[in-house]
């Protein structure tokens, strides 16, 4: 998905400015596609994660869902990719807190994903600003 997103971004500069991608809104037909694909991928990975005996199966599956949605929205150049990554950060923070209950050394990973969360929230706000600026001008 990252390769597809890169290609999409490179092919869609804002007004020819290769330093800025054209932000777009999802249309009404794309929203159900995102939801259905995310559900399908999540169900598939639920069974894969269960087959591997994954601890914390439900939060792990939610992490797959938020990761997939974020990657898909990145490909679509939607500002909401950053919100999906922020949601994934929250899930990962919870998962690593659960792990840290058994091994305190995992607290550094909790801190790491907390910083990612702040960054993704900031990114979401900036992408909304960029989208609004592009739509005005």
Q: Is the pLDDT of residue 18 over 90?
A: no
Band of pLDDT at residue 78, cut at 50, 70 and 90:
very high
Q: 41 CB contacts (<8 Å, ≥6 apart)?
A: 64, 65, 68
Question: Please, what is the end-to-end C-alpha distance for the chain in angstroms?
Answer: 30
DSSP 105: G
Residue 71, pLDDT above cutoff 90: yes
Query: pTM for the whole thing?
Result: 0.91
pLDDT classification of 124: cutoffs 50, 70, 90:
very high
Task: Enumerate the domain spans of the chain.
Answer: 2-12+28-136
- The closest alpha carbon to 86, from 118, 111, 112, belongs to 118
pLDDT for the residue numbered 26: 96
Whole-number average pLDDT of the chain: 96
**Each residue of 19-53: pLDDT tens digit?**
999 999 999 999 999 999 999 999 999 999 999 99
For residue 49, give the nearest of 38, 63, 35, 37 by alpha carbon.
Answer: 63
Could you identify the residue written with the tokens 């993704």?
A: 120
- The residues with which 17 forms a beta bridge, in sequence order, are 14
């Amino acid at each position: 998905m990252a390769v597809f997103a890169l290609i999409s971004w490179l092919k869609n500069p804002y007004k020819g400015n290769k330093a800025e991608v054209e932000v777009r809104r999802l249309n009404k037909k794309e929203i159900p596609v995102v939801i259905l694909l995310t559900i399908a991928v999540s169900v598939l990975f639920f069974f894969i994660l269960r087959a591997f005996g994954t601890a914390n199966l439900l939060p792990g599956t939610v992490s797959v869902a938020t990761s997939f949605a974020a990657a898909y929205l990145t490909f679509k150049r939607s500002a909401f990719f950053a919100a999906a990554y922020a949601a994934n950060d929250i899930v990962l923070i919870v998962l690593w807190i659960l792990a840290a209950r058994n091994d305190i050394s995992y607290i550094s990973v909790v801190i790491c994903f907390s910083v990612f969360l702040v960054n993704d929230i900031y990114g979401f706000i900036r992408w909304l600003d960029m989208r609004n600026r592009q739509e005005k001008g």
